Each structure stands twice: as C-alpha cells, then as structure tokens.
Chains A and B, each alone.
Chain A
Amino acid sequence: MDKFFYLIIEGIKNTLRHKITAFTAIFSLFISLYIIGVIIIAGDNTHKILQYLRSKYKIEVFFKENITNEEAIGLIHKIKKIKGIKNATIIEKADAVRIFNDQFGENIIDLLGYNPLPASTVINVDRNVRESIKIEPIIREIRAIKEVDEIRYQGNLINKIERNYTKLVNYLPYFSGSIIIIIGLIIYSMIKISIYSRRETIKSLELIGATRMFIKLPFIFEGIFICFISVALVFPSLFITTKGINYLISNFTSFSIKANFDPYIFIWLLVLVLLISIIASFRATSSFLK
C-alpha cells in the first residue's frame, strides 16, 4: 500500500517538478478541451436554434371568397390532419377586416360597401422532428383542397434553412469526429514528448530494478492529475462562455433562444481526456522500456 501511495504522490510531484512541461501540457489540454467543449455545446444546441427558426415558419391559406366562417373551420380540421402540421388558427372574415384596418388604416367595408376579404388560416408546421421538414408535400396537399384559393409561404427561405440543417446534421459528426481525433493526437503527442524528455529517468529506474509497472504508474498518475486540472479549468470556462453567449443573444439580438449548458459535459471531457492520457502515457513509457 505504501508503494502504491508513493507512486501516486510521485505522479503529483512529477507535475510540480516539471512545472514548465506541466504548464504547457495543461495549457494545450485546456485549449483542446475548450474547442471540443464548444463543439459539444454547439451540437447540443443546434436543434434548439433550428426549433426557433422553425417556429417562424408560417403558411397562410386563403379560402375562396364564398367560403363562410363555419365552412372554413371544417376545412381547417381537414388541413390539421395533414402530416407535418402542428396547428392552424382561423382568421375569420371579420378578423381580416380588422387586420386590414390595422395595416392600412382604412375600413374596407366603408370603402367598398361589402367585405371582399376571405376567411383564412395561419398554419404552423410541426417543428419537433429531427429530420428536415419537407414543406412542398404539405403545400401540395393543401392545394388539393378545392376550396383553397391562395397559399402564401416562405418556400425558398424554409428550403434553405432545412437544406443547411440537413447538411449540418450530416457533416457535424464527421467534423466533430475529425476535430476530436486531431485533438486526441495532439494530446497524445504532447504526453509522449513530455515522457521523452524524461527518458533518462526511465532508464535509471530500470537499472535500479524497477518493474515496468513501477516506472509507468507515476507517468500515468501524472497524466491523470494534469487532466483533472485541465478539465477543472475548462468546465467553468465553458460555463462562462455559455452564459456570455446567452447574454449577447438576449441583449444584442432579437432571438429568443437560450443556449443550454449540460453539466454532464464535465464527465464526457474527463473520460475522453483520461482515456487518451492513459493510453498515451502507457504507450510512451513502453517505447522507452526494453
């Protein structure tokens, strides 16, 4: 037991003995983990941003002039059954007059002597779907209803957003995976270099009769200690970054979204970096042992 504690303490002492190496390692790990953390947070919040944008999707359907409010309600029930539609709000003929009045400052009935404005409905699409929303099939189904006179929607904008979202969903895992692999290799190389600089120590320990495990464990514990420090620094930094982004969004933009910070990110980062560090320390020391 004394021996095991000695090896743990040696691992921690090694960090203090080689302050510049340790500082470089902690700094590099901090930067690497911060980038990974930002990617994880961005990935985690992508859907939220999309949901916000999707909440702005609107389809306005105008019924033929002769359709009464009651008939319009029946048609709306029919429209609601179309796959991909979340809800639909009726704008009765009288509501249309009010809206006209609000927008143009004139009462159309006073002008024309009758109400020419049709009943209509504003449709919201179901935004809680992971896959991209296909707006055209919905429009086709609505258009097939013979009582529908006109449909207004931001087709190009919706298609553009959905197309870019699909691209993001398709490429983000590859992009994140590549970044994580590159950063993993950086961490791995950094630990190897740090151990390489102490190959004489490894040789001396070998000559004293130290077993391979006795030589490796302090390096592994040192790596673990450095990882803990790095993650402990990264976690509050990511938290502050998220808070900062939310502050900027709420104070300087008109978006009503809030980036979410998942506390489990701490565990993910720690597991990731510990895994890389243990493998790198183990392999690097092995390469200097006969």
Chain B
Amino acid sequence: MIEFQNVSYTHSKGYGVNNLSMSIEDGGFTFLIGPTGSGKTTLMRLIYFDLFPNSGIVKVNGLSSETINRKTIAMARRNIGMVFQDYKLLSDRNLYENIALPLHVLGFPIRDISSRVDEAIELVGLEGKENHFPDELSGGEQQRASLARAIIKEPDVILADEPTGNLDPVASFELVRLLETIHETGTTILMASHNYNLIKGRGRPIFELKNGILRVR
C-alpha cells in the first residue's frame, strides 16, 4: 500500500507537491496525470525514497519516510520496479545484462537468472535482442527493456514515470497494454503521464496533479 499523509515537498526552484494526501491499495492500477512541472516526478521520487517530505509522511509497503534509513531504502526499492521516461538503461551493458541486473542485486543464483531473464524478455517481446546494446534499440524497445528490468524481480509495486513520453502512439499504447497485463498478476501500478488521451476510458482511477495539488478525476 502507498499512502501519503499531508505531504509537502518544495524543490529549491519552487515547484513540488503541496499538502498531498492519497492512498493506493495493494493491487491497484492508478494513473497520475498532470502537465510538465506539476509534481508527478516529485511524487514518484517520494514513493521510492529518493526525496523526503518537508512535512507529512509517506508510507510504502509498511515503510515510513519518518523512520526509514539508508540501508532499508535499498531494501524498499527491491520491492519497487521503476520505469522512467529516459529508460535509465546502462548503456555499457547489453539487453540481457541490463535486465539481469536486479537479480544480481537480489543475490539470485546464476543458474536461475538465465531462465528468469528469458521469461521477462519474452513477456515484453524482445526475443532475439538479448545481445543488443541500448543504443541499438528503438525507443519503444528500450522502454520495454526498462519494463522487463522492472518486473524481473517480481516487485509489489511498479512506478512508471512518463514511460510513454518518448514513444510514438502505437508504442505508447502497447506499453500501457503490457502494464495492464503485468497488473493482472497482482502488481500495484502507478503510471504518470501527461497524455490524457492514452489513459482515459480504461476504467482505472486517475489522480490529477496541478501545481503540486492533487485531485481525483
């Protein structure tokens, strides 16, 4: 469960989130929309404890921003899969190595890693691209690789921060479909986007952020 209790965070340049309260139940699929600079990324960063609120409390899977420490942040992130607009794939590693990375972090035995990576690659439809480096893949392929990296550790939560921001409409649609498929396995998903047309009519809750203030649409 993700819970915000009167959370405010202001960046040095002034923007952020303001007295924000919300909760996302386990297994939910929630969209977060808002224009650029509305605070979507700030909200995401607060969830994966990359930022800490100036006031209020953020709770994720039972861990609170008030009590979490450096070591437990790493542990908390192991239960969160992240997908970014700029993919954040490691450019010096091939697709296979990028996707396998979270399993090495978790200390999986080498013999189990290969089969899991193959499954993830198959799920996102990137078979045959295992040895390709990120710059040899299209934007859509890179984002699907990023998604495969996020899901391979079977996290409780997936945070997708503008995952379709650099994709064409077809690739964007496919990615949302993929996220819905993953959600069917019980994973909690929060996806931020500024493209309302992409997320409307899907029967999912939509939170709208504007100037750091949240409202349910």
Inter-chain contacts of B93 with A (CB < 8 A): 17
Are B50 and A207 neighbours in the complex by a CB distance under 8 Å?
yes
Chain B interface residue count, CB cutoff 8 Å, equals 26
Please report the C-alpha to C-alpha distance between residue A209 and residue B82 in the assembled complex, in whole angstroms.
Answer: 10
A152 within 8 A of B: no
Inter-chain contacts of B92 with A (CB < 8 A): 14, 17-18, 198, 201
Are A2 and B101 neighbours in the complex by a CB distance under 8 Å?
no
User: Closest B-chain residue to A204, C-beta based?
Assistant: B88
Are B82 and A207 neighbours in the complex by a CB distance under 8 Å?
yes
Inter-chain contacts of A203 with B (CB < 8 A): 88
**B48-80: contact bitstring with A at CB < 8 Å (1 yes, 0 no)?**
101000000000000000000011001111101
Q: Which of B83-98 contact A (CB under 8 A)?
A: 88-90, 92-93
* With A17-B92, A201-B90, A201-B92: A208-B110 Cβ-Cβ less than 8 Å: no
* With A201-B92, A207-B88: A3-B50 Cβ-Cβ less than 8 Å: no
Find the residue from A201, A206, A208, A214 having the highest chain B CB count within 10 A: A208
Are A208 and B48 neighbours in the complex by a CB distance under 8 Å?
no
**A188-215: contact bitstring with B at CB < 8 Å (1 yes, 0 no)?**
0000000000101101111111111010
Min CB distance, B142 to chain A, in Å? 13
B102 within 8 A of A: yes
Interface size, A (range):
20 to 34
B170 within 8 A of A: no
Min CB distance, B212 to chain A, in Å? 23
Q: Which of B109-142 contact A (CB under 8 A)?
A: 109-110
Min CB distance, B79 to chain A, in Å? 8
Please report the C-alpha to C-alpha distance between residue A14 and residue B108 in the assembled complex, in whole angstroms.
Answer: 21
* With A2-B109, A3-B107, A205-B105: A211-B88 Cβ-Cβ less than 8 Å: no
Please report the C-alpha to C-alpha distance between residue A69 and residue B109 in the assembled complex, in whole angstroms.
Answer: 92
B104 within 8 A of A: yes
**A73-84: contact bitstring with B at CB < 8 Å (1 yes, 0 no)?**
000000000000
**A224-240: contact bitstring with B at CB < 8 Å (1 yes, 0 no)?**
00000000000000000
Min CB distance, B43 to chain A, in Å? 16
Please report the C-alpha to C-alpha distance between residue A53 and residue B68 in the assembled complex, in whole angstroms.
Answer: 71
Q: Which of B136-182 contact A (CB under 8 A)?
A: 149
A6 within 8 A of B: yes
Q: Which of A39-98 contact B (CB under 8 A)?
A: none
**A263-290: contact bitstring with B at CB < 8 Å (1 yes, 0 no)?**
0000000000000000000000000001
Are B101 and A208 neighbours in the complex by a CB distance under 8 Å?
yes
Find the residue from B77, B105, B107, B110 having the highest chain A CB count within 10 A: B105
Min CB distance, B104 to chain A, in Å? 5
Are A3 and B104 neighbours in the complex by a CB distance under 8 Å?
yes
Are B105 and A210 neighbours in the complex by a CB distance under 8 Å?
yes
Are A207 and B48 neighbours in the complex by a CB distance under 8 Å?
yes
Q: Chain B: residues with CB nearer than 8 A to chain A? A: 48, 50, 70-71, 74-78, 80, 82, 88-90, 92-93, 101-102, 104-110, 149
Besides the known contacts A208-B105, A209-B74, 15 further A-B residue pairs in the complex with CB atoms under 8 A apart = A2-B110, A14-B92, A201-B90, A203-B88, A207-B48, A207-B50, A207-B77, A208-B77, A209-B76, A209-B80, A209-B105, A210-B105, A212-B70, A212-B74, A290-B50
Q: Chain A: residues with CB nearer than 8 A to chain B? A: 2-3, 6, 14, 17-18, 198, 200-201, 203-212, 214, 290
**Ranked 9 nearest A-B pairs via Cβ:** A209-B77, A209-B78, A17-B92, A3-B107, A210-B105, A211-B74, A204-B88, A6-B104, A2-B110
